[in-house]
Amino acid sequence: MAESYNKPPKLDEESGACCSNNADEYNTFKSSFAQIGTICVQNVIMLGFGMSLAIPTVVIGELMSADGGGAAGDNDLALTETEASWYGSVLLVCHPTGGLLSGVLQELIGRKWCMAAVSVPQLVGWYVLWKAENAFELYVSCVALGLSMGLSEAPVLTYVGETVEPRLRGPLSSVSTFTIMLGSFVAYLMSTALPWRTIAMINMAVPIVSFAAVVLLTPESPVWLLSRNRPSEAKKSLAYLRGCVSTDEVEDEFSELSIYTGFDKSVDPEQYADCGMDQRRLSYVKYLQINTNDTVSAEMDMLANRKQNTSWLNAAKDFWTPELHRPFLFIMLFFFFWSFATFIPAKPYLISVFQDVGLPCTAHWTLVYTSILTMVGTFMNMFTVGKFGKRPITLVSMALCAFSMLGIGMHMVVEKYFSFSCAWIPMVLMNTLFFFSGYGVFPIPWMLVSEIYPTKGRGIVSGLTAALAFLMTFVLTKWFLEMEAWFTLAGLFIVYGAITVVGTLYLYACMPETENRTLQEIEKFFVGDLDDYSHDRDELNA
């Protein structure tokens, strides 16, 4: 039956990147190209993240080498084992500070300018590292680089969740992880031919380029603009992200977006309690009234345009609602097991680890090709996550990472006590570990961060999540050498593998499938509304 008004969206439709009711509203190719281009441009930031993550490995490998100066020729600058453990981990302890700061900044100044602000501490960090003359200055450089890493992660992930359509959200969520791996690979590759000071000098160009790219080519998130009562700018931003179309062409999607943000701020239920409806339904009523040409009452209009209350007291209260604290607890446990499964605490010490394991290649070139494997795994994730889903990819990758670490540890034990050695066994297992950590373990939890939190509190809680994730990694990295002394390297591989097995079982029991799910459906899972929620990929694609 023909209707005289626009068809309203479902109440539980997508949040930050809703699908329009009219599938042909704008050109799909143009829309995809605009979203892919925007996400790739802003992910130049994550290139610097990857380089920052890799540089301690390069510096420690050179300054703890036998000649004291390594390839850099810095005979006047060397690191003791204690100094190396601090240098390798201080980057990660400063990351949480940046993550917490980003949670506040992206709510105050927006996703775009929070991403642009990343360039400042990153540029300072590379400059100080380039000019470093003692261990203290090395620490200072890591403080600045760690802050930049923490500042970058949450706004980048939040931006993807709020601007990208569901059909592209999975692959584009992987772009940031791929870019991190690419940055690490470039740093490792440069380390085979250049001293670390030269690498630091070259890397100073990255924050300059990323600042220009974000400021000039990235629009602000429409969701953030709506939360700040700037609907005209939000509509223009959405039109840009859908292929530079006219604002009229995104009217339906913009209305859906307004409804979702209305769940947080549009209507005060206490002042309109007699109607018997919650916030979302009141904002939905407003949508229906607008689209049936009915007059919206002055009271309703005033309530719908009330500015969002973003006080810390309300943010703290919101955190204890099921839709926020349940996904937070889930993802933090995921990150705990992630720290072991990716073997990331060993990253600053990989050169010595590769030497002790007895791989048939030189340690520096092993760094290069293992980073290639990780990068290839992440690249494959971008193209297969939509087909297979996040849950099966995660479970298979976790299981194979556990198998690889247990296998390496057992091989080292057998080699020590039974004089049996085959260098290609740990080589194959190490390749498996790095490939599958890049394919399913490293990127998936970061993708989930952009999906599992509702708009209410998303910026602050995503920043808190990133901060605590790297705080855990800092503790494990700082104590890696001590744990190696306690357990031996073989024992440490076995311990990490055993914990990863436990993590695989935990995720099998608790991890939902979020691919092809709207953010509202994911939210229902965490608040306990499990009706019709399936992990079956065939059903999801049906």
Domains delineated in the chain: 34-221+313-539 (1.20.1250.20)
The pLDDT, as a whole number, for residue 205 is: 95
The pLDDT, as a whole number, for residue 459 is: 67
Residues 6+ apart with CB under 8 A from 136: none
Q: What is the mean pLDDT of the segment spanning 295-309?
A: 38
Count of H helices and E strands in the chain? 25, 0
The pLDDT, as a whole number, for residue 502 is: 97
Residue type, 506: Y
pTM for this structure? Answer: 0.69
Q: What is the mean pLDDT of the segment spanning 417-446?
A: 89
The token pair that represents 394 in the structure block = 């995660």
Q: How far apart are CA 524 and CA 533, in angstroms?
A: 9
Min mean pLDDT across 185-189, 373-377, 465-469, 522-526 is at 522-526
Per-residue model confidence as pLDDT tens digits over 217-266: 888 988 888 878 888 888 888 888 888 888 788 777 777 777 666 543 44
Is a pLDDT exceeding 60 seen at residue 26?
no
The token pair that represents 238 in the structure block = 């959405």
Q: Which of 275-289, 305-319, 405-419, 458-472 has the highest mean pLDDT?
A: 405-419
Contact 357, 431 (CB under 8 A): no
Is a pLDDT exceeding 60 seen at residue 186?
yes
Residues 6+ apart with CB under 8 A from 436: 377, 396, 397, 400, 401, 404
Residues in the chain: 542
Residues 6+ apart with CB under 8 A from 84: 60, 63, 64, 348, 349, 481
Min mean pLDDT across 57-66, 381-390, 428-437 is at 57-66
What is the DSSP secondary structure assignment for residue 219, as one 8-state letter?
Answer: P
The token pair that represents 281 in the structure block = 């339904």
How many other C-beta atoms lie within 10 A of the C-beta of residue 498? Answer: 15
Q: Is the Cα torsion angle 355, 361, 362, 368 positive or negative in sign?
A: negative
Contact 252, 25 (CB under 8 A): yes
Per-residue model confidence as pLDDT tens digits over 102-153: 878 888 888 899 999 999 999 999 999 999 988 899 999 999 999 998 888 7
Collapsed DSSP state (helix, strand, coil) of residue 125: helix
Mark 39-48 as b/e (b = at least 16 C-beta within 10 Å).
Answer: bebbbbbbbb
Give 491-535 as a DSSP string: HHHHHHHHHHHHHHHHHHHHPPP-TT--HHHHHHHHHT--TT---
How many other C-beta atoms lie within 10 A of the C-beta of residue 432? Answer: 18
Taking 3-state DSSP, the helix, strand and coil percentages for the chain, each rounded to the nearest 5, stand at 75, 0, 25
Q: Is the Cα torsion angle 24, 28, 34, 40 positive or negative in sign?
A: positive
Give 167-179 as a DSSP string: HHHHHHHHHHHHH
Q: At what angle do helices 322-341 and 312-319 cross, to 10 degrees?
A: 70
Q: How far apart are CA 438 and CA 345, in angstroms?
A: 15
Q: At what angle do helices 28-42 and 166-191 cross, to 10 degrees?
A: 40
Residue type, 360: P
Q: How far apart are CA 10 and CA 407, in angstroms?
A: 50
The token pair that represents 345 in the structure block = 């605490």
Q: How far apart are CA 27 and CA 10, in angstroms?
A: 23
Per-residue model confidence as pLDDT tens digits over 64-97: 754 444 444 455 688 888 888 888 888 877 877 8
The pLDDT, as a whole number, for residue 317 is: 64
Residue type, 411: H
Residues 6+ apart with CB under 8 A from 539: none
The pLDDT, as a whole number, for residue 235 is: 86
Contact 174, 451 (CB under 8 A): no
- Tokens 């990490």 found at: 496
The token pair that represents 306 in the structure block = 């009330």
Per-residue pLDDT band at 437 (split at 50, 70, 90): very high
